[in-house]
Amino acid sequence: MATGKRYYWIKLKDSFMNSEVVDFLMSQPNGASYVVLYQMLCLKSINTGGRLTCQIGDIIIPFDIEKIQRDCKWFSLDTVRVALGLYKQLGLIYEEQDGTLVLVNHAEMVGSETDYSAQKRLQRENRRRQLPMQTGDSTADNSVDNVHTDIRDKRTDIRDKEIRDKDKDNGSPAVDAGLAEIIRSFEDNLGGFPPAAREDLLGWREIFTDDLILLAIKKAALAGVRKWSYVNGILKVWKNEGVRTLGDVQSRDERRKPPAGQQPKRSAAEDYNEIFGELLGGST
């Protein structure tokens, strides 16, 4: 029965022993001890995120050389002292202001898993083993194995498929050019368009013109916030303030100018002059 207990282990890349760092340590007198001690320190800090500390009640106590030597009984104080100096020089560890030693690459060398997760993983592996062998032409469900897909192609497919509606008169596919332009502008300025935002976008098109939605996207780009939630927030504010046209936006920006004498780095009007020029074909 799974209890939620977490288990940890050390994971080393096959190139670890051939790395320049290990090669340098091994070239030193007593170098093998330095390599083994480093691995033991990874184990000692396995459930503290690479931080060499111990906790007594509410007090967290950093390891010192004597503590490390007591816990790693095969090494002398001199060996521990020299090893720690080498680790610092090689960038394997660093020391915080309170004296806590932290292993830099700890996250890359330690793995963990709860017994519940291990149980589920074994169940999935057993199910995969029980699936019938597939031929080259078989189309059995491979969703477990084919997790990774080409994100860009997927987004393109979603965009191309979802901007088409059926023409009610003759049944021929009709491309919604306005929707396609909005999604294309979002991807060009902010990144991949999230499929989950499609319903929100369709709702905003019932309230605002496409030009206003394009303007909100450009505003998000100027602000350096590459998220749909930011565009969504702009449109919510405009809706609440009764903004419905490009002229409304310009008037709103004029009202929000800073008091006389205060010089902003760049005014909203200046930002939008550039945008309006694009949206209105070069005239503002």
Look at residue 162 and tell me whether its pLDDT is greater than 70: no
User: Rounded CA gap, 211 and 201, in Å?
Assistant: 13
Asked whether the predicted pLDDT for residue 171 surpasses 70, the reply is no
What are the pLDDT digits (tens) for 98-137?
888 988 877 777 777 776 777 777 778 787 777 665 544 4
Query: Is 115 among the domain residues?
Result: no
- Same domain, yes or no: 99 and 155: no
Q: Is residue 142 part of a domain?
A: no
8 A C-beta contact, residue 1 and residue 101: no
- Res 8: pLDDT: 72
Residue 166 confidence (pLDDT): 47
Question: Which CATH number covers residue 102?
Answer: 1.10.10.10
Task: For the chain, give the mean pLDDT.
Answer: 77
Is residue 204 located within the same domain as residue 263? yes
Instruction: Provide the residue range defining the domain that includes 74.
Output: 6-110
Quick one: pLDDT at residue 109? 73
Tell me: do 156 and 270 sit in the same domain. Answer: yes
> Which range has highest mean pLDDT (6-15, 44-53, 70-79)?
70-79
Last residue of a domain, one of 51, 84, 110: 110
Residues 196 and 104 in one domain: no
Q: What is the mean pLDDT of residues 47-51?
A: 82
Using pLDDT thresholds of 50, 70 and 90, give the confidence band for residue 145.
very low
Count of structural domains, the chain: 2
Question: What would the pLDDT profile of 259-281 be if each residue is shown by its tens digit?
Answer: 666 655 554 445 555 555 555 55
In a domain, 139, yes or no: no
Residues 29/86, Cβ–Cβ less than 8 Å: no
The helix (H) or strand (E) run that includes residue 53 is strand 51-56
Residue, of 183 and 139, whose pLDDT is higher: 183
Length of the chain: 284
Q: 214 is written with which tokens? A: 């394009």
Residue 148 pLDDT > 60, yes or no?
A: no
Residue 156: per-residue pLDDT? 55
Considering the domain architecture, whether residues 156 and 104 belong to the same structural domain is answered as no
What's the mean pLDDT in 160-167?
53
pLDDT at 226: 86
pLDDT digits (tens, 9 = 90+) for 50-62: 889 988 888 889 9
Same structural domain, 191 and 103 = no
* Same structural domain, 95 and 169: no
Give percent above pLDDT 70 in the chain: 71
If you average pLDDT over residues 85-102, what whole number do you get? 87
Are the C-beta atoms of residues 12 and 42 closer than 8 Å to each other? Answer: no
For residue 240, being part of any structural domain is answered with yes
Which of 80, 110, 140 represents a domain boundary (last residue)?
Answer: 110
Is the confidence at residue 284, as pLDDT, over 60?
Answer: no
The DSSP call for residue 266 is S
Of 45, 78, 110, the residue that ends a domain is 110
